[in-house]
Structure 1
Amino acid sequence: MKRILILLLPLMIWSTSAWSKEYQYEADVKGMVCAFCAYSVSKNINKLPGIVKDSVDVSLKKGEVRFRSTSRVTQKTLEPLFTKSGFTISGLTETEVKTTSSMSSKATPTLELNFPGTDTDRFEPVIKAIGNIAATGPSRIEIEAPESLEMEILKPLLLGRQQVIKVEFIPVKQKSIRLRLFDAENE
């Protein structure tokens, strides 16, 4: 009997997570003018519980945002996140989507750079160049650095750009900067 339970337990866990509900959301956003605005919107949405990692997609040209969540999100929940950043949101739509698996493969970065220390002025030309590369096509950048450096790194990377770049900033304790560029088409 114990063997049967041990064999059935993983199957039961897999069956509930493999077919879990997920919701796709789309909304219009007014007030965004550059990639830094898009980063701000994306970062605020990712703070909500249940948001699927890397699902937030912001379009400056269309003035819209799309994302997926494992829990329901209302426009009333989103509005304070947007008004705090100086944007307005309207026309939120929800579509229920069945997911077939919650497992994702770990992508290999196209480019990975490790900068010793935290002197962002010294590495600013390289950070700008990575932003230029990322802006040429669908890509994603992961940044690991001390939390106090977030804006110093993001300004040369995003400020004034018209192309949206997906960026994930991961605060770490070590005194170094790690940039990883991923080709979104190969993820």
Structure 2
Amino acid sequence: MKTPYPWLAGLILLWSATAAAGGMRYELRVDGLSCPFCTYGIEKKLVNTRGVTGVEIDLDRGVVVVKTREGVTLTEAQLKKLVDDAGFTLRGVKVSLETQQQ
């Protein structure tokens, strides 16, 4: 059976992918995270940043995950300043689109 409107199937797929999208997800590799008390300072800096909806910290891996509202983006320079101001060193940033499934 031939699809009468093949472009419609593509449009529906694109719409569903966009509908599932949320804000951004930033995975920061941070040097100096060694204890729960250390994490409080960086978490406080990040949570008080406009548009940030959540912060998760993995001490074992030295990773801080920052999630933002839809439409809010943070630059690497902004993230570096926030991490530096908290007394840590930013070693890398991995950016992805936050989806409702995550």
User: Partner of 2:49 in structure 1?
Assistant: 48
Task: Kindly name which structure, 1 or 2, has the bigger radius of gyration based on alpha carbons.
Answer: 1
1:62 counterpart = 2:61: yes
Superposed, which structure 2 residues align to 1:94-109 within 5 Å?
94-99=95-100
For the Cα contact (< 8 Å) 1:82–1:89, is it kept in 2? yes
User: Partner of 2:11 in structure 1?
Assistant: none
For the Cα contact (< 8 Å) 2:21–2:98, is it kept in 1? no
SS at match of 1:97: strand
For the Cα contact (< 8 Å) 1:30–1:89, is it kept in 2? yes
Residue segments in structure 2 that go unaligned for 5+ positions in a row: 1-18
Superposed, which structure 2 residues align to 1:1-187 within 5 Å?
21-52=22-53, 55-70=54-69, 71-99=72-100
Alignment root-mean-square deviation, CA = 1.9
For the Cα contact (< 8 Å) 1:31–1:88, is it kept in 2? yes
| Equivalenced residues, count | 81
For the Cα contact (< 8 Å) 2:21–2:97, is it kept in 1? no
Deviation of 1:90 (Å): 2.4
Instruction: With the length of structure 1 as denominator, give the TM-score of the two structures.
Output: 0.40
Deviation of 1:89 (Å): 0.9
SS at match of 1:56: strand
Residue segments in structure 1 that go unaligned for 5+ positions in a row: 1-17, 101-187
Amino acid paired to 1:36: F
**Identity, % of aligned positions:** 27
Deviation of 1:41 (Å): 0.9
Moved over 6 A (4+): none
User: Partner of 1:113 in structure 2?
Assistant: none
Deviation of 1:79 (Å): 1.4
Find the aligned partners of 2:86 and 2:31 in 1 and give their Cα distance.
Answer: 11
Find the aligned partners of 1:92 and 1:32 in 2 and give their Cα distance.
Answer: 16
Q: CA-to-partner distance for each residue in 1:4-28, whole Å, 9 max, x for gaps?
A: xxxxxxxxxxxxxx86631111010
For the Cα contact (< 8 Å) 1:22–1:99, is it kept in 2? no
